A and B are shown apart, each in its own frame.
Chain A
């Protein structure tokens, strides 16, 4: 009887056809969301969903990082740069059926910035981007007035951040803390279902004010291992893998059922020096290290040629024509001379690195080892130490850390988003792990924050860049391309900053 049952089961299983994805677009990524409340969003996996369910007032064009109105139709900045009036789109409703209006905008920003707000989110990681906001008020049903504490050239860009996405006040009041599980925005997709760690189902929002998405349903699934995700993609179980490894890019391009899409880099990977510690505080040492780094080799060995050698901490797509940034010189012989002159020949140094993958260091161990090899060629003895995420974040803020591998992905496509957090004295010991605190650099970056004349802002950034290049508190290594693996049934062009499910199409 048992054997018979087993044989029957085996026969049934043997006849099983491989599972094929149906009409929904199935999107595989590295991990599940932790929240769907835009105010609580801190990392990319959460943002991927909220960017499709919610909308900010201002966003980017589909093909570039140029700003365009989303829920805003127009904005005017006062002559002194201290306030901004925003006109809102008419005929927009939230997924819960309530209307979008000036009150909703006021509610969203007050909730984000007011620590005593009754519907304050559990945490608000990006609230500090709005610390220069003094007041937001409705000056009409479809018009809001933002009043700032200081004139800001980046405030408009800040409105694109995920934290600034407009939420339905009624839904927030109704669900309280559980709004994070029951999101209600104005975006092209609404949440249909969230099975934690299994899938998120997004359905097209029929009441959407703009062009309706071509795909009616998107199912977002966490697939921890990129290898597993790629096997599923080749087989057709999923249509998109947004976390392929760099090594996968070429095979996937050549595979019959899959293709790749690449997007300009919005990130930087750099080598940092703790300026409070010897020998890293010695300018000759930093110059020698800079001369020893062969970025082309690094790109080939550790980035599969999918990065571009960096000549600035700010990626070219954001720096644009601000100032020429000549390539860093590679000259190991000169590096050795410098080390000898500084009395540091054969010196023992330490390089710490993260052990977790990041867009700018998909394989951190490989990057660290390549740098170690290059530095050993100029006679240095390099010890590598790896740390996991929680430990590394704290380690690079300590005053005792040595040389470190670090990187940054843009939240906003403006130079300030790189220069201020990573290098300004205000952030020394925070994100500025080198403790770089140069008066001229600080003044130029600070002045550029409120400079609304593009020409003057460019010259301030040029000055800051020159100080950075002269002092070498960090050495930019590469800017890494963004990549995504797709089924040939899918048409999707990556956006430089956001994941936009609503532009994807899926062929039968």
Chain B
């Protein structure tokens, strides 16, 4: 087991190197260059050329990549070209907690809601409960996030704050960077409530697709388990109906669901980019969007590397989780 974890962790740098290469190449093959956003559309070609030289953008691509990789190896994610002040690492440190906050909230909604819908559908198979749940699930997987986000704003914007993660007139000094946690730590009840209200719409928008997917997988998995012999035995023994479902059936039905939830985490990180844009959530998503708009190579590279590492580590955690859920799973054996 330890050997397996170590092996997986050792693979992480290789994955990150590949990611850095792909992002580097992609950014360079896209037409345009950063000097346009730094000096503006009105700048003269001569000024842009001089800046390109100063920034080393005139060097051959392999040389530029070697320089970039050299800095990465020293743990330096670089500096934004246009935005003054902070380094990419400092910016990411500020942006990651809000994204994790949003992702976890969406994950909680998706898993709890999806499990509930899926279980109800399976238990009340082919009844109106099933049809309704699965219709919700089908709608959920089909709706694009940005559209759903706008609909939510139109429908609930009157009752809930629109955009951002805290009212602009609240001043909260970041301790952990997680606004809800910081408000709680500061003992600011009103801010805590405001932060929670700000989280609702974006979290629901982001949760919709994974919720729908979880519901569908849960239903299928539960139906399979509910038809097995040991369930019939449990029922025959006189176990309470819901106890059979939650204790006997659900635990065995969880394996494919956990796999899906692990994969969904990656989806949620990607989906956060769109959700954050619609709701002006100050996380990695808006950071990536602005960096792409401003051709900020190093910011995009840094953000993608950090998100990729998160994804890889979460996937590893999910793999390890199997062992706890399903005692048959063993790692590291030939």
Contact = CB atoms under 8 A, between A and B. Distances in A.
Interface in A350-407: 387-395, 397
A125 B39 contact: yes
Interface string A388-430: 1111111101000000000000010000000001000001011
Nearest to B164: A198
Contact of A390 (B94, B289, B295): B295
Interface in B6-48: 30-34, 36-45, 47
A56 interface: no
23 contacts: A9-B196, A18-B160, A32-B290, A34-B83, A34-B84, A35-B84, A42-B39, A122-B84, A128-B44, A177-B84, A180-B85, A197-B286, A198-B282, A227-B150, A228-B153, A228-B280, A231-B154, A235-B157, A390-B34, A390-B295, A395-B31, A427-B44, A431-B44
Interface string A5-26: 0000100110010110110101
Contact of B31 (A13, A40, A231, A394): A394
Interface string A122-133: 110100100000
B150 A394 contact: no
Contacts of B83: 34-35, 196
Contacts of A429: 45
Nearest to B43: A125
Interface in A203-251: 219, 221-225, 227-228, 231-232, 235, 237
Most buried by A among B37, B41, B43: B41
Contacts of A430: 44-45
A389 B278 contact: no
Contacts of A284: none
A271 B65 CA distance: 40
Most buried by A among B34, B153, B164: B164
B31 A391 contact: yes
A323 to B, nearest CB: 26
Contacts of A225: 150, 277-278, 280
A312 to B, nearest CB: 20
A178 interface: yes
A31 interface: yes
Interface of B: 30-34, 36-45, 47, 51, 82-86, 91, 94, 150, 153-154, 157-164, 167-169, 171, 193-194, 196-197, 200, 277-280, 282, 286-287, 289-290, 293-295
A128 B84 contact: no
Given A237-B161, A431-B42, A394 B33 contact: yes
Nearest to B289: A224
Contacts of A388: 32
A123 B39 contact: yes
A181 B84 CA distance: 7
A125 B40 contact: yes
Given A197-B286, A228-B278, A395-B31, 17 more contacts: A9-B196, A13-B196, A16-B197, A21-B169, A122-B84, A123-B39, A125-B42, A177-B84, A178-B84, A178-B85, A219-B169, A221-B280, A225-B278, A225-B280, A390-B31, A394-B32, A430-B45
A389 B157 contact: no
Most buried by A among B30, B42, B197: B42
A284 to B, nearest CB: 31
Given A123-B51, A390-B36, A394-B33, A219 B168 contact: yes
B193 A397 contact: no
A143 interface: no
A338 interface: no
A172 to B, nearest CB: 13
B282 A180 contact: no
Contacts of A394: 31-33, 36
A390 B32 contact: yes
A235 B83 CA distance: 32
Contact of A223 (B31, B163, B171, B290): B163
Interface of A: 9, 12-13, 16, 18-19, 21-22, 24, 26, 31-32, 34-37, 40, 42-43, 122-123, 125, 128, 177-178, 180-181, 193, 195-199, 219, 221-225, 227-228, 231-232, 235, 237, 387-395, 397, 411, 421, 427, 429-431
A430 B42 CA distance: 8
A16 B169 contact: no
Contacts of A9: 196
Nearest to B169: A22
Nearest to B33: A390
Contacts of A397: 45
B164 A221 contact: yes
A197 B287 contact: yes
Contacts of B163: 223, 228, 232
B41 A393 contact: yes
Contacts of A390: 30-34, 36-37, 295
A31 B169 CA distance: 18
B84 A37 contact: yes
Given A40-B84, A178-B85, A231 B157 contact: yes
Contacts of A43: 40
A224 B32 contact: no
Contacts of B280: 221-225, 228
Contacts of A31: 290
A123 B279 CA distance: 32
Contacts of B91: 196
A151 to B, nearest CB: 23
A19 to B, nearest CB: 5
A473 B286 CA distance: 40
Contact of A16 (B162, B193, B290): B193
Given A125-B43, A223-B163, A235-B158, A391 B84 contact: no
